[in-house]
Amino acid sequence: MTGNRERFPVKTLIGLRGGKPFKLKGSQMKIYEAQLQYSLVSEGVTAPLNFPAKIHQYMAGAFDKYPMQESFWVICLNQKNHPIMRAMASLGTATSALVNPAEIFRIAILANATGIAVAHNHPSGDPAPSRADINITRQLRECGSLMNIRLLDHIICGDQKSDPQGIGFYSFSEAGLV
């Protein structure tokens, strides 16, 4: 910016007047700030997650803390499909997990991801998708397309013994739904 001209009145945007928070009819405004903190988890060469089996393998151990509840995870990827990070976006019940596309893509945006893969578990062990699983995958694909963040795959993790096909996971990409 040049001179004293401000494009946006910053003090108004952040809820300040004269350096102090202003009150609206007896209540004080609350202003929140998002932060991203990076911590090195592992070092070394990571393989790109360009096949459903690799994504399933990458998620090994993620569901161990809450094995009797569905948990929905986001895997953030760089341009070459190398994982940047993974984060649990939702912890649900034995039969469902509430998922909001805005929350999924907030994680991806904060991680500066160019693509994502998502994964969740079915505590029953049968990885067959439900109607809700199909709907959220469709929503994530559409949102990602609008935001130029590709949805690489949605993996449902189960176990080989409970899977009628004996694979242990279901890939929306392999089924042609991504």
Output 18 or 133, whichever has higher pLDDT: 133
Q: Domains of the chain: which residue ranges?
A: 52-171
DSSP 113-126: -SEEEEEEE-TTS-
Q: Is pLDDT of 104 > 60?
A: yes
Ramachandran quadrant class, 138 (left: phi over 0; alpha: psi -120 to 50; beta: rest)? alpha
Length of the chain: 178
- The third-level CATH classification (topology) of the domain covering 52-171 is Cytidine Deaminase; domain 2 (3.40.140)
Structural contact between residues 98 and 134, judged by C-beta atoms closer than 8 angstroms: no
118-135 pLDDT per residue, tens:
999 999 999 999 999 999
Give the pTM.
Answer: 0.78
